[in-house]
Amino acid sequence: MTTTPWTPTSWRSHDAAQQPTWPDALALDDVERQLRKFPPLVFAGEARSLTSALSDVASGKAFLLQAGDCAESFHDFNADSIRDKLKVILQMAVALTYASGVPVVKVGRIAGQFAKPRSSSTETQGELTLPSFRGHLVNGEGFTKQDREPDPTRLLTAYQQSVATLNLLRAFTKGGFAALHQVHSWNMSFVKDSPEGERYEQVAGEIERALRFMTACGIDLAAEGNLDEVDFYTSHEALVLPYEEALTRQDSLSQQWVDTSAHMLWIGDRTRQVDGAHVEFLRGVLNPIGLKVGPGIDLGELKALCELLDPERTPGRLTLICRFGRDKIEDRLPPVLDAVTAAGHPVVWASDPMHGNTFSAGNVKTRSFDDIVAELQTFFQICRAKAIWPGGVHLELTGENVTECLGGGDEVKELDLSTRYRSICDPRLNASQALDLAFSIADLLRN
Ligand code: PEP
Ligand code: CO
């Protein structure tokens, strides 16, 4: 395959799918100029650490838990919501590690997950047709002309919100909140009395006993920094390329380019065209890259994408996030696994059991817990049969007590959906459903 030299702007000579039509090009230029001067959110060294952690996943020594909102919101920006998302991810990681003995690499869809691809660029209600809502990085969700007009100053707000979110995440994960002896405190009040909350309490109790046992044996746990701190990484879909380009910087040590907007970036199922701008942009940055693989993937295309994004066959560089749907996975996953394995890419295989299982109930989008579990079960089965490590999961969830997905231990029913449906985009698992799912995944990992 021939490729022209990469630069942070080389994507501009490729077609970019799913870009908003900005009404004022000069206003966008001005925002880009400002962003280029702003400090980086993450460092090259951190992105490299994540690649290294993911290389352990690729070789079957660790498991990837990537999770968070479908779309972060400018309205729902506060310390409690960040803390509760972190809590539920930490709880899930404990459930997974405790059951399987495998370390969990924790990556949030957070601190930058603001842009959404849409199936149609406009939305019509009655007589009125307006641009579709593309996430708070671009416009507002209200169905008014004013809300829907793409506004480049939102890129600055998104940057500021990402900075503050990441700052709090760093404080929580390095400042004692995520210390293993806090394991009980992550269980939220509304989860505690549910069956999965109780199962979690049991695990937490056993962990505490183990810690006490080790202290009694004379092991100095305070000296074991690993128990007090957690590595937590950020990720989002790299969709709006002017934003990503403006935050891409040259690492002074290696001269390589790093997209400092997040540790890991992924390419969505709608923007993975081999000649497209998103693939062109991400092939040149050193960050670990995710690629969504949906039922429409062509195997030749997939091999070309792997070659472009992982030409050196670097373990941990590329995560293939499979999102086929429970009815299609059995058919589509095996040839995908075979093609990539034959081409020699040491990728992380992850399952996104959310995006292939969305359906409408009344006037809202939802997903059923059973479909999600079913796709995961099939993912594990097929990988295992081919001696491939089922390396991770990619989930949409929140720490709040929402009613957006059906089923789970608490049994959210169709009639309940409207009670606390708060997502501005796809339906998310609530904290109980997320914990319930973690225990199901733990069972799959153990078997
Ligand atoms: C998403 O992850 O929110 C998303 C839009 O996924 P996909 O690109 O797989 O449809
Ligand atoms: Co989504």
One DSSP character per residue, 73-93 reads: -STT-SHHHHHHHHHHHHHHH
Entry pTM = 0.97
175 is a domain residue? yes
Pocket residue to mutate for ligand 1, from 110, 119, 269, most atoms within 8 A of Cβ: 269
Number of domains in the chain: 1
240 is a domain residue? yes
Q: Is 236 touching ligand 1 by the criterion CB < 6 Å?
A: no
Q: Give me the residue label for tokens 């900075």.
A: 163
What pLDDT shows up at residue 187? 84
What pLDDT shows up at residue 2? 59
How far is residue 197's CA from residue 301's CA, in Å, rounded to a whole number? Answer: 44
What pLDDT shows up at residue 184? 84
Q: Is 142 exposed, middle or buried (0-12, 13-18, 19+ CB in 10 A)?
A: exposed
5 is a domain residue? no
Q: Are 57 and 391 in contact (CB under 8 A)?
A: yes
What pLDDT shows up at residue 225? 66
What pLDDT shows up at residue 185? 87
First to last CA, the chain: 41
Q: Amino acid identity, residue 386?
A: K
What pLDDT shows up at residue 194? 87
Give the torsion sign (CA, 104, 230, 316, 248).
positive
Pocket residue to mutate for ligand 1, from 107, 270, 291, most atoms within 8 A of Cβ: 270
Q: Are 376 and 441 in contact (CB under 8 A)?
A: yes
108 is a domain residue? yes
438 is a domain residue? yes
- Give, using CA atoms, the residue closest to atom 4 of ligand 1: 268
Q: Is 269 touching ligand 1 by the criterion CB < 6 Å?
A: yes
* Domain of residue 51, CATH code: 3.20.20.70
- Give, using CA atoms, the residue closest to atom 9 of ligand 1: 269
390 is a domain residue? yes
2 is a domain residue? no
Q: Give me the residue label for tokens 């990484």.
A: 233
How far is residue 244's CA from residue 35's CA, in Å, rounded to a whole number? Answer: 10
Range of the domain at 334: 10-446
Q: Please list all protein residues whose beta carbon sits less than 5 angstroms from ligand 2, which is an ion.
A: 70, 426
344 is a domain residue? yes
How far is residue 373's CA from residue 352's CA, in Å, rounded to a whole number? Answer: 11
- Give, using CA atoms, the residue closest to atom 8 of ligand 1: 268
Q: Is 117 touching ligand 1 by the criterion CB < 6 Å?
A: yes
Nearest to 426 by CA among 177, 191, 109: 109
**E-state strands within 11-102:** 63-68
How far is residue 402's CA from residue 113's CA, in Å, rounded to a whole number? Answer: 19
pLDDT averaged per 10 residues, the chain (length 447): 86 98 97 98 98 98 98 97 96 92 96 97 97 98 98 98 98 90 84 87 90 90 79 98 98 95 99 98 98 98 98 98 98 98 98 98 95 98 98 97 92 93 96 96 92
Q: Amino acid identity, residue 429?
A: L
Q: Is 292 touching ligand 1 by the criterion CB < 6 Å?
A: yes
Q: Is 70 touching ligand 1 by the criterion CB < 6 Å?
A: yes
Quote the ligand 2 centre to 372 CA distance (angstroms).
Answer: 14
Nearest to 113 by CA among 240, 18, 22: 240
Q: 180 Cβ partners below 8 Å, 6+ apart?
A: 207, 211, 227, 228
Quote the ligand 2 centre to 363 CA distance (angstroms).
Answer: 17
Q: Is 295 touching ligand 1 by the criterion CB < 6 Å?
A: no
Pocket residue to mutate for ligand 1, from 289, 323, 351, most atoms within 8 A of Cβ: 323
